[in-house]
Structure 1
Amino acid sequence: MLLLLLISSAFVLPWAGAGRIIGGKEVKPHSRPYMAYLKIQVTNKTATDRYSCGGFLIRPDAVLSAAHCVDENGTVKVTVILGAHNIHDEEQSQQRIRAKKWVIHPNFHREGHVNDIVLLKLETNATINAYVRTISLPRHNEGVRVGTECEVAGWGLTSLERRKTDVMMKVVLEVQNDTLCKPRFRKYQRQSMMCVGDESRRKSTYKGDSGGPLVCNKKAHGIVSRARKRHIFPEVFTRVSYFEPWIHDQLRRFALQELPASPSSQ
């Protein structure tokens, strides 16, 4: 389901193109109207690669996702699909919009997926309706208690054997204590990351889920970021509340760029 990038402490696997939710179930169609499916194409001198990631709509013109999804060498093109349930059907509910530009956090580091967040500016505003809506973000440093049950949805792989799904899946995961992730993940940072997972080790996000939201109490508190190779527990999510000031600063910059030039600047 969600493009959860599974990364071990020794091996960092790109979640771009990564999988689907393990141990989850199909969602009621169009019950998560904030979900975005990112079709990503990377072209360099020798080849063209195509993969997908998750994301979520926070304003009619803006989508949040994981930085590692678009941090690639070569020419990157991103098409955002909103209002989808079966991603391989041409559903009338779907809106396909090119990403005009995107801003990766300036302190993003692929090693350890530190500051793993990107804000994408859509070429045209999404039409808000029953199938496409925004999701709220937490306030700056608004916390989520250990033990809180949260939900992740996406179109990622549904098993370690790389089983695929065309429809959106969901899984319920629990917020874990940071002490569980700190010794297992290099460069784990409690302020900017969340430790999440299912202690039974039966449920998880996986490849293709990266960039999707961890929804707690109806807010997008996390972004699918990384996990250890061939381990589905625990997982690391980007902590959205830590980046709230940066997000709003970028949204303000997006808005200013849309204003017509004043006579004095022409």
Structure 2
Amino acid sequence: MHVKSFNVFLNLYVLISKYFNFSNTTPIIGENVQQAIESEFPFIVSLVRLSSNYYKPERNYICGGALISPKNVLTAQHCLEEERQIGVVILIGSVNLRQTTRYYIFWWKTYYDWCESRSYPLQFVVNDIAVIRLISEVPETLVPGLITNVSNAIFHGLDAEIVGWGITNNGKHPKIMNKATVNIITIETCEAIIERLHGAKLVVDARFLCSLANPYILMDKVNI
């Protein structure tokens, strides 16, 4: 394969799995991006800003997240940094944002806050993780995703589904969840491709997953 036909992406990740292993990120741009099927990823949720334009919530989209218990949502810390708790709601229950149920936030806590409250030392400077507690539980029929803590190495060579309502090929946030498939590659392969394309050696931290797709799938603004 001609490596220049690939884009390589680095993603600080939290892997959540039910029947698939995937990472939730934004945007999702590329030739093979498709709309998700209803109930395909029932534990994926959307964070949106409260607005009078409730009938078009995609216009107020902030980030995606994952339901990890009947009352807890896992998301990225950076999604909350410029937001007020009373100004954000969680939309759950459909791949179509206009057909979801609105859930209100009781509190949220970042990994940094959690460590500070317990006087735990931070292993890394940047820890882009936050948990949101909902005021009310979701129905029992909505099964949360499962968090895996296995080594990254177990995913090398596997395909992964990325999903969300991130900016699409037309530059807008869609009302229907999008999905795309990428392949997880080893850190060594990732570093070799980066060096070949960029002309310089880059050390990729073990916390990151590298993925590639052909045709390309742009998952984030960090692309090499």
The TM-score, its normalising length taken from structure 1, stands at: 0.56
**Does 1:135 find its partner at 2:145?**
yes
In terms of fraction of residues, the more helix-rich structure is: 2
Matched residue, 2:109: 103
| Deviation of the 1:20 alpha carbon | 3.8
Structure 2 match to 1:81: 91
1:52 aligns with 2:62: yes
CA distance in 1, matches of 2:77, 2:37: 29
After TM superposition, list the pairs within 5 Å mapping 1:1-266 onto structure 2: 19-22=27-30, 23-40=32-49, 50-72=60-82, 75-76=84-85, 77-87=87-97, 89=98, 91=99, 94-106=100-112, 114-129=126-141, 132-139=142-149, 141=151, 143-159=153-169, 162-179=171-188, 180=190, 188-190=204-206, 192-198=207-213, 200-206=214-220, 227-228=221-222, 231=223
Cα distance, 1:176 vs. partner? 1.8
Q: Percent identical across equivalent pairs?
A: 20
1:78–1:30 Cα change, 3 Å: same
Q: Is the 2:163–2:179 contact (alpha carbons within 8 Å) kept by the matching residues of 1?
A: yes
**AA of the residue aligned to 1:202:** Y
Q: How far did residue 163 of structure 1 move?
A: 4.0
AA paired with 2:211?
A: V
Structure 1: 5+ residue runs without aligned partners? 1-5, 8-16, 42-49, 207-226, 234-266
State the 1:169 CA deviation. 1.2
1:56 shift after superposition? 0.7
Distance 1:36 1:66 in 2: 12
Rounded Cα–Cα distance in structure 2 between residues aligned with 1:187 and 1:155 = 31
Instruction: Give the number of equivalent residue pairs.
Output: 177
Deviation by residue 1:135-177 (Cα, 9 ceiling, x = unmatched): 1111354643321101111111122x51442211111111122
> Structure 1 residues 137, 143: closer, same or farther in 2, change over 3 A?
farther
Paired letter, 2:39: H
Q: Which runs of 4+ in 1 moved over 6 A?
A: 182-187
Specify the SS of the correspondent of 1:144. Answer: helix
Structure with larger RCO (C-alpha < 8 A, sep 6+): 2
Q: What is the Cα-based RMSD across aligned positions, in Å?
A: 3.5
8 Å Cα contact 1:21-1:169 kept in structure 2: no
| Residue 30 (structure 1) shift | 1.9
Change (3 A) 1:186 1:97: farther
Separation in 2, partners of 1:113, 1:175? 25
Q: Mind listing any 5+ residue stretches in structure 2 that lack a counterpart?
A: 1-8, 11-24, 51-59, 116-123
